[in-house]
């Protein structure tokens, strides 16, 4: 028996008295002696693998960058251009290594930081302005109390301006919204009335306007209604739309007057003063109208403007010039003009006196001279003609109404 096992009462192992021998600790559980240290690492027991457990992943390891062997540079010629130094190539990144992402602050934090930065810059600018204003005021001889009072006054004024601008903006926005709503949905028409004298019935005017009961009143425009009605109904010169809130629309019409009646060989064209074609029917000249004779055949359309062509254009311009002079001299009885020959124009006065002119040259002086003869020298009821073809003189021939007679 080993000498170390002599003392059986020692639970931690028996030690012999002989120090030359190796003392061995005693194992309490198995009563076996094991060396304290053998110098050999003891491997842990193998771990059993569970089928339900995922296999361990292999941790990628970075490979050390390998240095490339230095290449020998060819000797450069003396006349060659010096080459730039080549920078060392950056080490290649390991494809198995996990990329490192740069962490950025959240969006809200960035926005807050930007607002803080802008506010700080604004405060700095305001501080610089205050310093400049303070220096200017002190140089002008103002005290610190005066400067503070002025600053407080400016703040109060700015607050009032901001308040007024805010209220005005809110009211403007509310009005704009109300206007848009009314333009889209509000004020339906319940009644349409017509005022003014005309040759047409109210139903004809309303139908020509294109406005119907139930339409939005704010969408009815005067220009569009005026253009439509005057084109369909020639004897109406203008239409004005009147709004009577909340649901009544009134059409105020103005009737045009017949001014010229152009008589050709087989056609009639009735015009107003503005040259608008009113009618193409056969009519007689009334009081205040002028009958124009000698015009060639020409097409015209009711409701459209009269556009004479060729000799008719010259005849129409001569007629307007002579009629203006006759009206200026107050000769309403001279209402028939024959313009077939522009070098021998004939004007009929009251159906008993013919006036002859050789054109429209010096028409103002000639018509004034003839008006004096008609009013002062010719007895009432006389018949004949007045020759006004000569400059600054005219004479009356009683009896025949023609030059040949």
CATH number of domain containing 219: 3.10.20.310
Instruction: State the Cα–Cα distance between residues 286 and 183, nearest whole angstrom.
Output: 47
201 & 324 share domain = no
The answer as to whether 247 is a domain residue is yes
User: Residue 281 has what pLDDT?
Assistant: 85
Contacts 24+ apart (CB under 8 A), 237-243: 237/272, 237/274, 237/276, 239/205, 239/209, 243/217
The answer as to whether 102 is a domain residue is no
Angle between helices 202-209 and 222-232 (to 10 degrees): 120
- pLDDT level of residue 27 (50, 70, 90 thresholds): very low
Tell me the range of 182-191, 199-208, 285-294 where mean pLDDT is highest: 199-208
User: Residue 265 has what pLDDT?
Assistant: 75
CATH number of the CATH domain containing 262: 3.40.50.11690
220 & 175 share domain = no
User: Residue 9 has what pLDDT?
Assistant: 52
Number of domains in the chain: 3
Ranking 31-35, 70-74, 113-117 by mean pLDDT, the lowest is 31-35
Q: Do the beta carbons of residue 26 and residue 9 sit within 8 Å?
A: no
Instruction: State the Cα–Cα distance between residues 163 and 324, nearest whole angstrom.
Output: 64
| Statement: residue 126 has pLDDT above 60 | yes
User: Residue 199 has what pLDDT?
Assistant: 86
User: Residue 1 has what pLDDT?
Assistant: 46
236 & 157 share domain = no
- pLDDT level of residue 14 (50, 70, 90 thresholds): very low
User: Residue 400 has what pLDDT?
Assistant: 85
| Statement: residue 44 has pLDDT above 50 | yes
The answer as to whether 145 is a domain residue is yes
The answer as to whether 81 is a domain residue is no
The answer as to whether 394 is a domain residue is yes
Instruction: State the Cα–Cα distance between residues 303 and 318, nearest whole angstrom.
Output: 23
The answer as to whether 112 is a domain residue is no
Tell me the residue range of the domain where 208 lies.
Answer: 191-255
- pLDDT level of residue 362 (50, 70, 90 thresholds): confident
| Statement: residue 18 has pLDDT above 60 | no
203 & 222 share domain = yes
154 & 212 share domain = no
Q: Average of pLDDT values for 187-202? A: 89
| Statement: residue 285 has pLDDT above 50 | yes
281 & 356 share domain = yes
384 & 305 share domain = yes
pLDDT tens profile 149-167: 888 888 899 999 999 999 9
| Statement: residue 101 has pLDDT above 60 | no
Please say which residue of 205, 225, 255 terminates a domain.
Answer: 255
User: Residue 102 has what pLDDT?
Assistant: 58
pLDDT tens profile 235-269: 998 999 998 888 889 999 999 988 999 987 778 89
177 & 271 share domain = no
Strands (E), 326-392: 334-338, 345-349, 353-357, 384-387
Helix, strand, coil: what percent of the chain each, to 5?
30, 15, 50
211 & 297 share domain = no
The answer as to whether 268 is a domain residue is yes
- pLDDT level of residue 33 (50, 70, 90 thresholds): very low
374 & 391 share domain = yes
Which is more confident, 121 or 47?
A: 121
The answer as to whether 314 is a domain residue is yes
User: Residue 347 has what pLDDT?
Assistant: 92
User: Residue 64 has what pLDDT?
Assistant: 56
222 & 280 share domain = no
227 & 291 share domain = no
| Statement: residue 337 has pLDDT above 60 | yes
| Statement: residue 79 has pLDDT above 60 | no
| Statement: residue 130 has pLDDT above 90 | no
Please say which residue of 222, 255, 288 terminates a domain.
Answer: 255
User: Residue 32 has what pLDDT?
Assistant: 46
Which is more confident, 194 or 403?
A: 194
Please say which residue of 157, 183, 209 terminates a domain.
Answer: 183
């Amino acid at each position: 028996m080993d000498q170390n096992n002599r003392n059986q009462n020692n639970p931690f192992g028996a030690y012999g008295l002989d120090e030359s021998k190796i003392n061995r600790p005693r194992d309490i559980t198995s009563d076996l002696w094991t060396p304290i240290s053998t110098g050999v690492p003891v491997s842990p027991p193998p771990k059993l693998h569970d089928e339900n457990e995922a296999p361990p992943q292999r941790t990628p390891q970075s490979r050390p960058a390998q240095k490339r062997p230095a290449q020998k540079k060819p000797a450069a010629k003396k006349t060659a251009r010096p080459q730039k130094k080549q920078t060392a190539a950056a080490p290649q990144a390991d494809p198995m290594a996990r990329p490192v992402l740069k962490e950025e602050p959240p969006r809200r934090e960035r926005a807050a930081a930007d607002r803080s930065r802008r506010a700080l810059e604004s405060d700095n600018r305001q501080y610089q302005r205050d310093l400049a204003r303070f220096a200017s005021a002190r140089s002008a001889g103002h005290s610190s109390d005066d400067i503070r009072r002025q600053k407080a006054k400016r703040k109060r004024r700015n607050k009032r301006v901001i308040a007024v601008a805010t209220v005005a903006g809110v009211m403007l926005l509310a009005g704009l919204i109300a206007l848009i709503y009314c333009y889209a949905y509000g004020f339906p028409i319940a009644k349409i009335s017509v005022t003014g004298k005309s040759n047409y019935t109210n139903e004809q005017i309303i139908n020509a306007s294109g406005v119907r009961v139930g339409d939005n009143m704010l969408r009815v425009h005067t220009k569009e209604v005026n253009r439509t009605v005057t084109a369909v109904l020639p004897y109406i010169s203008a239409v004005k739309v009147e709004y009577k809130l909340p649901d009544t629309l009134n059409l105020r019409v103005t009737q045009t007057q017949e001014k010229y009646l152009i008589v050709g060989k087989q056609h009639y064209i009735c015009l107003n003063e503005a040259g608008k074609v009113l009618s193409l029917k056969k009519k007689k000249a009334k009081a205040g109208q002028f009958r124009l004779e000698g015009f060639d055949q020409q097409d015209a359309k009711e409701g459209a403007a009269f556009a004479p062509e060729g000799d008719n254009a010259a005849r129409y311009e001569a007629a307007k010039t002579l009629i203006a002079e006759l009206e200026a001299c107050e000769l309403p009885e001279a209402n028939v003009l024959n313009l077939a020959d522009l070098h021998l124009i004939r004007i009929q006065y009251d159906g008993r006196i013919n006036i002859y002119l050789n054109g429209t040259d010096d028409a103002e002086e000639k018509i004034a001279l003839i008006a004096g003869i008609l009013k002062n020298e010719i007895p009432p009821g006389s018949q004949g003609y007045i020759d006004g073809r000569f400059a600054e003189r005219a004479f009356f021939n009683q009896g025949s109404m023609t030059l040949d007679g």
